[in-house]
Amino acid sequence: MDIKDKLSAAIEQAAKDAIADGVFPEGELPKIVLEVPPQKEFGDFATNFAMQSARVFRKNPRQIAEELAKRMEGDWLDHTQIAGPGFLNFYLKGNVLYDSFQKILEAGESFGQLPAKDAPKIQVEYVSANPTGPLHVGHGRGAAAGSALVNLLRAAGYPVESEYYINDAGNQMNNLARSVNARYLELLGREVEFPEDGYHGQDIVDTAKRIIAKEGDKYLDLEEEERLKIFQDLAYVEKLAALKEDLAAFQVTFDKWFSERTLHPEAVKAAVKILQDNGNIYEQDGALWLKSTAYGDDKDRVVIRDNGVPTYLAADIAYHHNKYERGFDRLINIWGADHHGYVCRVKAAMEALGHDPKKLTVLLLQMVALYRGGELVKMSKRTGQSVTLNELMEEVGTDAARYFFLMRSLDSQLDFDLDLAKKKSNDNPVYYIQYAHARICSIFRQAEETKLVLGDKPELSLLTDPSEIDLIKKIEEYPEEVEKAAADYAPQRIARYSYDLAALFHSFYNKCRIMGVEPKLAEARLALVTVTAHVIRHSLGILGVSAPDHM
């Protein structure tokens, strides 16, 4: 049990004791929140529990705080203080912080990795872009967020499976084939009208050129239907391979790639039949409609068109039904904000199928705006289309791209400053964090040269400088930060934590020498930077960002 857990338990017990003494009435206790005060004179930890419980206990917060303070016990607690309208400030005994830090030091590389939770698997599905062209920066933000969320949940001890849903059926694949076909014919001198819904990117021209380079004009005189089928297969394999390559370069991999094609026709028919059998589908004007209004949607939705062709929703119903049937306890989808209206209909369909819609969480991803020289960047210099993820990685690097994508919560629009992301200065947050780790690695090299060795029991009580104490306290917060961030699906909390930790380390580094001081103090400080390096690596690992040894 760490010090925060002990303190929370002591506050809870004090409240229960006051209830037993008849001082407070019975009631549900509010959540106990402990914070590190911004100023050291306010103690090691503080809580607003007395103010939060005023309604429950029907007393003035200061009175509540006084009654709690009377009943607070623990060999780790020096004294309490009541401040302001009813804050309770706690001052720990001197050895508590060092004893706790010794345990962190002994935990080594396992610190920050929470125990495995006995829970069914969570599935996180993200990116899931059509395999019809390169990923753009919007996909990149989703890729960074999804992979960091998977890493975060695993660090918090949850069993997690990541999945990419390949939209490889339907009109988008037909349009891909028609687009490649048109470019193929153009390149071979045929006049052709480019399809209205076709893909205009340079990558389509490049695909057609590769087909010609390999096969020449062998497909030119085939029937168009046959040629389209060949081109769809060739383009699909190429686009999917390129997509996987870009994602791998962006530190994104998936446990499962799920093809939409595998749902057609049997799985789609089976899901629709369940809905027909339980009375949640009706026929109108030759089409089959889902009674989604019965489950909170604003209107009913077509699942099978009057020509017998399933809608995109039909495939999505079959896909999500498949997810539930695989036994996941929680399903997390990361979708673009333009899919906002789609959430309700999918949840309605799941409830109509008999599944618990509360198990499905959809996180909506807001837009990314790129800026260079203070000006909005709308188009790729290379293709004239949207800026691709690959181009972004080439310009700013994978680490900077991932960190900048993860600095803000998914539901807020992100203004991405390309110039800042490329700066090699402390103004650039990812550089600032990585530089802290590189500095520590330099300390390790100096320690090795001077034969400074870290023993099992360094005299941590020698760490008395305020910058040292602040750094220890921040490190001790890390497991709780991982737990909270995972519970809130908020990897941006880890991005903020890693930056704050780096700032405290830089402050310590500028104030406290390690080499050339008294040996026991040098060893204690080496212990502090050793743990700091581990936490920086661990937190950056969650974000999918590297921790370099040199910069």
Q: Which residue ranges make up each domain of the chain?
A: 3-92, 171-249, 429-543
Does the bond joining 265 to the residue before it have cis omega, within 30 degrees of 0? yes
Name the helix (H) or strand (E) containing 417.
strand 414-417
Residues in the chain: 551
Residue-wise pLDDT tens digits, 92-139: 887 888 999 999 999 999 999 999 999 889 999 999 999 999 999 999
Question: Nearest 5 degrees, angle CA 48-CA 51-CA 57?
Answer: 130
b/e for 171-187, b at 16 or more Cβ within 10 A? ebbebbbbbbbbbbbee
Give CA–CA dist 59/472, Å, rounded. Answer: 37
Compute the mean pLDDT over every residue in the chain, rounded to the nearest whole number: 95
Residue 41: the pLDDT is 80
The amino acid occupying position 125 is E
Tell me: pLDDT of 446 over 90. Answer: yes
* Predicted TM-score (pTM) of this structure: 0.90
Residue 384: the pLDDT is 58
194-203, 270-279, 389-398, range with the lowest pLDDT:
194-203
- In this chain, the answer to whether the domains covering 3-92 and 429-543 adopt an identical fold is no
Residue-wise pLDDT tens digits, 513-537: 999 999 999 999 999 999 999 999 9
Q: Tell me the mean pLDDT in the region 501-524.
A: 97
Tell me: pLDDT of 40 over 80. Answer: no
Q: Tell me the mean pLDDT in the region 497-518.
A: 97
Cβ-in-10-Å burial (0-12, 13-18, 19+) of 157 comes to middle
Give CA–CA dist 257/170, Å, rounded. Answer: 18
Domain 3-92, CATH among 3.10.450.350, 3.30.1360.70, 3.30.1360.20, 3.40.50.10470: 3.30.1360.70
Q: Would strands 45-47 and 87-92 be described as parallel, antiparallel, or unpaired?
A: antiparallel
Tell me: pLDDT of 410 over 70. Answer: yes
| Both tokens assigned to 176 | 């891909």
Residue 307: the pLDDT is 96
Residue 181: the pLDDT is 97
Q: Tell me the mean pLDDT in the region 397-421.
A: 97
Q: Would strands 301-304 and 330-336 be described as parallel, antiparallel, or unpaired?
A: unpaired
Question: Nearest 5 degrees, angle CA 197-CA 202-CA 205?
Answer: 80
Class of the domain covering 429-543: mainly alpha
12: closest CA among 73, 77, 83, 76?
A: 73
Q: Tell me the mean pLDDT in the region 320-336.
A: 97
Residue 6: the pLDDT is 83
How far apart, in Å, are the Cα atoms of 430 and each of 235, 422, 500?
37, 10, 12
Q: Tell me the mean pLDDT in the region 418-430.
A: 97
77-86, 274-283, 406-415, 489-498, range with the lowest pLDDT:
77-86
Q: Would strands 281-284 and 34-35 be described as parallel, antiparallel, or unpaired?
A: unpaired
Residues 6+ apart with CB under 8 A from 22: none
| Both tokens assigned to 484 | 């909270």
Dihedral sign from CA coordinates of 500, 501, 502, 505: positive
Tokens 């340079």 locate to 202
For the sheet with 34-35, list strands across it: 34-35, 45-47, 87-92, 77-83
Tokens 């921790």 locate to 547
Give CA–CA dist 49/12, Å, rounded. Answer: 10
Q: Which of the 8 DSSP states describes residue 131?
A: T
What is the pLDDT confidence band of residue 4, given thresholds at 50, 70 and 90?
Answer: confident
Residue-wise pLDDT tens digits, 131-163: 999 999 999 999 999 999 999 999 999 999 999
185: closest CA among 137, 231, 148, 129?
A: 231
The SS3 assignment for 71 reads helix
| Both tokens assigned to 273 | 């039949």
Residue 381: the pLDDT is 61
The SS3 assignment for 362 reads strand
